[in-house]
């Protein structure tokens, strides 16, 4: 039987996030920033352990590929990251220290093409580990990108259809409808209601478990 106490807390978080979307809907350009901040402050940073850090910026890998600006970088700090000159928020992340990337959209259905473009820019980057000791799922070379929409599609079938069509996206969460699904490379799971929020947390937690004993070598970035 599902734990009712966890469920009740998730219901509260879902209500808070839906409230943020409704209150910021009339703010046009500033609404995206408010929604992104709420998703981090009211959900991710309040639920995931303190070892995780959340920021925005670019990711680069040993080969010199670069992602372009990313909305939310979930950093599992096993490698350094660099601040941008003149910016307290934006950073340059090494691929090995990024657990996942999240794109936060007001409406995932109308902004899907933007999310896919970002996923395609991130897709060529590869993590380079010296060695790994696997706890659960082994870490992948590619960095997963999840798309979160405050509103959007209304059925799991639609989410699955878009994941099948755009394999660069690892998973989709629609907050108001309470829907979550991942592709087959990320456990092929689905969840509904407030448990959709918990499913995203589970996936990030599972990915981070695979990074716990991964050995990284930042010196690679300085070698010709």
Burial call 196-221: b when 16+ CB within 10 Å, e when fewer: bbbbbeebbebbbbbbeebebeeeeb
pLDDT tens per residue, range 185-213: 998 999 999 999 999 999 999 988 888 76
Is residue 22's pLDDT more than 70? yes
Look at residue 15 in the predicted model and tell me its pLDDT: 97
Q: Is the CB of residue 96 less than 8 Å from the CB of residue 216? A: yes
Q: Is the CB of residue 184 less than 8 Å from the CB of residue 209? A: no
Look at residue 134 in the predicted model and tell me its pLDDT: 55
Is residue 126's pLDDT more than 70? yes
Confidence band of 89 (pLDDT split at 50, 70, 90)? confident
The span from the CA of 196 to the CA of 202, in Å, is 10
Question: How confident is the model over 15-38, as a mean pLDDT?
Answer: 82
Confidence band of 29 (pLDDT split at 50, 70, 90)? low
Output the CA torsion sign for 131, 68, 102, 147: negative
The span from the CA of 223 to the CA of 195, in Å, is 45
First to last CA, the chain: 56
Question: How confident is the model over 87-112, as a mean pLDDT?
Answer: 92
Q: Tell me, what DSSP letter sits at residue 124? A: T
Percentage of the chain beyond pLDDT 90 is: 74
Higher-pLDDT residue of 217, 175: 175
Is residue 88's pLDDT more than 70? no
Q: How many CB atoms lie within 10 A of CB 100?
A: 22
Look at residue 106 in the predicted model and tell me its pLDDT: 94
Percentage of the chain beyond pLDDT 70 is: 92
Average pLDDT, whole number, for the chain? 91
Alpha helices per DSSP H over 123-216:
156-165, 195-211
3-class DSSP state for residue 131?
Answer: strand
Q: How many CB atoms lie within 10 A of CB 175?
A: 27
Question: How confident is the model over 34-44, as a mean pLDDT?
Answer: 94
What is the residue extent of each domain of the chain?
Answer: 4-222
Look at residue 24 in the predicted model and tell me its pLDDT: 79
pLDDT tens per residue, range 154-197: 999 999 999 999 999 999 999 999 999 999 999 899 999 999 99
Question: How confident is the model over 117-146, as a mean pLDDT?
Answer: 84
Q: Tell me, what DSSP letter sits at residue 215? A: B
Is residue 113's pLDDT more than 60? yes
């Amino acid at each position: 039987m599902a734990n009712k106490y966890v469920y009740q807390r998730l219901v509260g978080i879902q209500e808070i996030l839906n409230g943020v979307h409704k209150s910021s809907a009339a703010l046009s350009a500033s609404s995206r920033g408010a929604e992104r901040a709420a998703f981090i402050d009211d959900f991710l940073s309040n639920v995931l352990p303190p070892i995780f850090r959340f920021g925005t910026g670019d990711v680069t890998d040993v080969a010199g590929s670069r992602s372009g600006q990313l909305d939310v970088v979930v950093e599992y700090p096993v490698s350094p990251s660099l601040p941008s000159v003149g910016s307290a928020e934006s950073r340059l992340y090494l691929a090995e220290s990024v657990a996942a990337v999240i794109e936060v959209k007001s409406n995932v259905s109308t902004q899907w093409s933007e999310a896919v473009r970002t996923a395609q820019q991130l897709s060529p980057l590869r993590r380079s580990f010296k060695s790994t000791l696997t706890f659960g799922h082994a870490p992948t070379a590619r960095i997963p990108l999840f798309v979160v929409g405050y509103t959007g599609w209304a059925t799991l079938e639609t989410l699955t259809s878009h994941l099948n069509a755009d394999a660069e996206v690892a998973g989709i969460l629609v907050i108001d409808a309470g829907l979550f699904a991942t592709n087959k490379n990320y456990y092929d799971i689905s969840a509904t209601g407030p448990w959709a929020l918990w499913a995203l947390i589970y996936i990030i937690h599972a990915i981070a478990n695979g990074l716990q004993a991964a050995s990284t070598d930042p010196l690679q970035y300085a070698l010709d």
